[in-house]
Structure 1
Amino acid sequence: MALEDAGDLVLHIILSKIGPESTARVACVSKRLKGSASEESLWSIFCSIDLNISTPLDPNGDPAPSFKTAYQLWRESFRMYPWSLVKRVRRCWDNLKLWLSLNFPESKATLRKGATEDDLEEFEAALGVKLPLPTRLLYRFVDGQEPSSSSGFVGSLGVIGGYSIYSHAVNVYLLPLKEVINVTNDTLRKLGNASRLNLVVVALSALTSLKLFFLDCTSGQLYTGTSTGQMLPCVPESLVRSVHDINGGDEQQDAMLLWLEEHGRRLQSGTLKVREEGNVKGISLFPELPPSCSVAVTNGVQVRASAVFAPEISNLRQRPPDYWYAYSIRMSLAPEGCFLNGTHHSSCQLYWRHWVIRADGAVIDNVNGEAVIGQYPLLKSGEEEFVYQSCSGSPTTSGSIEGSFTFVPGSLKVPKGSEFEVKVAEFPLKLPDYIF
């Protein structure tokens, strides 16, 4: 049976399956096929699949007269890029924006409107670089985050997020193009790397501690620096395939795109969450799910523990090297309280800690001491977790921490029974494939 002989419903199904490019070619065959290939319901499907839009909008977010026109406007606006790459970058940002809308709208509000091709050309001319196509597209959709007018940075609202250890606080945000120019020039001048014109600073933390992310515009790799200036790749080298040839298609996936896609996956899976400390909200980089996060429950006391690599305080030049990890301990008491010797207690208080720290399986430290960061947390049934952060160094890229806390039922002032030990299950200290 010829295609023209198919019923309207069958023809609609066939066209929706073969995609917009083939549908456009089918429209050239006959008047009937042209009519079928121009149906709004068909192009609404293509717009939904390729662009994730449910109303006809052009690339600037303005209304278009039809879904077909909207699709054509998008294709025309991004004609210099492989369409498969455009769709992939669009999905990356859509996934991030959706998660932010649901979980951290304050951060989403800082995302800037996409840059124009003219903006990108001015940027490249100013720094004398040529951005990899995936990164160009990332900026076409979102030109980084809007800096705060008062402080000059977005504080705890960074899309990437961070962690804190004592007075050391990190929260990473994405720089808009104009800030990339200023920060790159200033940073390379300070580092004495003015000859490395292929590097641009695309993200940073500007809280109490400075953490920078450099994109190598030649290789497409993303780097971050240690305390002594070593550059560590933030994405597995084997995955980075950034070329400037516009015919590269799906082979183009520079580190910036891979980094943001991986970050989006961790957010969507619940591995990372928004946490609030001292009325300040931010995306926490401490993993919340196993195997990166350990969970143990002893007599009704739950302890969750995880760590994140902190390159900005690590020193890999010394021998042995010094890899530093921030770790987060979250402890809480079950609603029914702690259960000891057949009795329920509505509270218990920490008195002692014991840590066993390993590197490549060998014990390198065995720590015993009172309190945690100088505090004796009192846990009460049904209350929120008590959370604290600390840090530990390791001479290797693979290690772990495990241990226990000693609690007293009731409180230290008014104990209700004998001390009991609460397990802290082993959690990894490991140099990650992706560094954030």
Structure 2
Amino acid sequence: MASSLPPPPGDLMPSAEAGLESMEGLALDTVISRAGARPAAALACASKRLRAAVADDSVWRRFCADDLGLDAPVDPDGRPLPSFQVAYKVWLESFGMYPLPLVKRVKEFWSSMKSWLSENFPEAFKTLCKGVSEAQLKSAEDDLGFKLPMPTKLLYRFCNAQLPFSDNDDANKRISTYGLIGGYAFYDHWANVHLSPLEQIVEETKEFYRGFPDVFYGRNLIVVATSWFHPKTFLLNCSNGELYVGTNHLPDGEMLPCVPKASIKPTDNDFPQDGLLLWLEEHLRRLKSGMIKTRMLFKSRYISLYPEAPPSCTSAVTNGVKVRASAVFVPEYPKTVRRQERCMYTYSIRMSVPEACMLGGVYYSSCQLFSRHWTIRSRDRAVCEANGEGVIGKYPVLSVGKDEFVYESCTPLPEGPGSVEGSFSFVPGKYVLILIEVYLWLSHPEGKPFEVMVAPFPLEVPEYIF
């Protein structure tokens, strides 16, 4: 073990060695543990007594925990090893070319992400691929013609992202909603973003260079994530570590930054962090906190980017009817239209009757939506008033204890930040809508119509864009 760990700068002085020789048990163990793995390896060369003290596996248990985040003696593939000392040696041989704090950070990210997926989204967990080797990374860099950022390389050493899309449409459809990043669906616009494996990165990046040479030339951009449905592309600048998402004007070079620039430190020796690592860590934080969750889309589960917790998700209860609402910035829509800045947002409305619908002291077990009214504001100025019957062509019935009725729509905003607020008109009980000529009439309502409020929810371009 000692020979695999180079000694620290400067040899230990004889007086220091003599002092360590005179120490007993716990005191000596404490000094060795605090010294770190490399000085401990150097101490093992000094004498038989120090070699025996350094060989104690409890010392290497601490080194493995502190330096690598290991709680068991396993190799990088999870296979058991005979001791923590052997484990430290194996990990150092595999990842010694990287700063160990970064190795630990990336390892803990993937361990936590896989744990969340395994418990909450096993379908997506099954699409994750085994990590690549240094040789495969070197081959990819040779094909691309430039180096990948250190954090990105480590991300792919631990996990080669998700299964690549193929020429088999049936196979693609099976995994199409299992994107690690997730997405949204409104009207005929679907976006679900998958993290690309290394081989797909190289292939799609070359295609982009051929298709958009003016955008890519000299910028060392790679395609790191894409959507199977509506085109949505995330690109990493390997020179400065910045992550971008392309709009529909990507052929003209229109891209939006996805991560706060001030957080990116691509050249820090101890804790380099590029946009991709920061982006994935923030995504995991939102998943673990419950800010975003999985939902069903048709018959498939997917990670929904519509926020589920305050302050991004608002909630209001009127006469027993609960309405939750939140919005997501849609970056793939053009940012500039006819020389005017605008943003597109998709919003999700969730309606339910948790206990009972109460109106005028009378309880009803159900109620039905008839109409809606929206006020859309930009910088506290009303820019749009919208009224209409139903929602997305439906007149949902809400019943006590039933699942939420969920629908999604969208709205442009000329400038931000902004907000949406409004109300729904409901009628107690369950009624029938009758079409007479071009008018809709209510048949057999059980009570008078009442308004259900929608608490204002924000429309804003976030610091982290997904």
Local SS of the residue matching 2:139: helix
- Alpha-carbon distance in 1 for matches of 2:307, 2:39: 44
Q: 2:217 aligns with which of 195, 214, 219?
A: 195
1:289-312 CA distance string (max 9 Å, x none): 111111111121111111111111
Q: Where does the alignment leave 5 or more consecutive residues of structure 2 unmatched? A: 1-18, 433-443
Local SS of the residue matching 1:431: coil
Alignment of 1:149-188 (within 5 A): 150-151=168-169, 153=172, 154-188=175-209
Task: State the AA in 2 paired with 1:68.
Answer: Q
Alignment of 1:21-420 (within 5 A): 21-28=38-45, 30-147=47-164, 150-151=168-169, 153=172, 154-193=175-214, 195-196=217-218, 198-207=220-229, 209-229=230-250, 230-243=254-267, 248-250=269-271, 252-334=272-354, 336-413=355-432, 414-420=444-450
Q: Is contact 1:129-1:197 (8 Å) kept?
A: no
Q: Is contact 1:272-1:286 (8 Å) kept?
A: yes
Local SS of the residue matching 2:345: strand
Give the aligned CA root-mean-square deviation in angstroms. 2.1
2:15 aligns to what? Answer: none
Q: Is contact 1:127-1:197 (8 Å) kept?
A: no
- Alpha-carbon distance in 1 for matches of 2:151, 2:360: 61
Q: Across the two proteins, how many residue pairs are aligned to each other?
A: 430
- Alpha-carbon distance in 2 for matches of 1:420, 1:352: 11
- Alpha-carbon distance in 2 for matches of 1:267, 1:200: 26
* Cα offset, 1:57, TM superposition: 1.6
Q: Is contact 2:67-2:100 (8 Å) kept?
A: no
- Alpha-carbon distance in 2 for matches of 1:188, 1:372: 43
- Alpha-carbon distance in 2 for matches of 1:376, 1:9: 73
- Alpha-carbon distance in 1 for matches of 2:294, 2:137: 32
Distance of aligned partners of 1:331 and 1:5 in 2 relative to their CA distance in 1, 3 Å threshold: farther
Between Structure 1 and Structure 2, whose CA radius of gyration is higher? 2
Q: Where does the alignment leave 5 or more consecutive residues of structure 1 unmatched? A: none
Local SS of the residue matching 2:332: helix
Distance of aligned partners of 1:11 and 1:103 in 2 relative to their CA distance in 1, 3 Å threshold: farther
Local SS of the residue matching 2:367: strand
TM-score (norm 1): 0.93
1:428 aligns to what? Answer: 458
TM-score (norm 2): 0.87
Local SS of the residue matching 2:286: helix
Task: State the AA in 2 paired with 1:388.
Answer: Y
* Cα offset, 1:11, TM superposition: 4.9
Percent of paired sites with the same residue:
49
Q: Which runs of 4 or more aligned residues in structure 1 lie more than 6 Å from their structure 2 counterparts after TM superposition?
A: none
Task: State the AA in 1 paired with 2:210.
Answer: R
Q: Is contact 1:331-1:387 (8 Å) kept?
A: yes
1:224-244 CA distance string (max 9 Å, x none): 11122211111011111213x
Task: State the AA in 1 paired with 2:260.
Answer: P
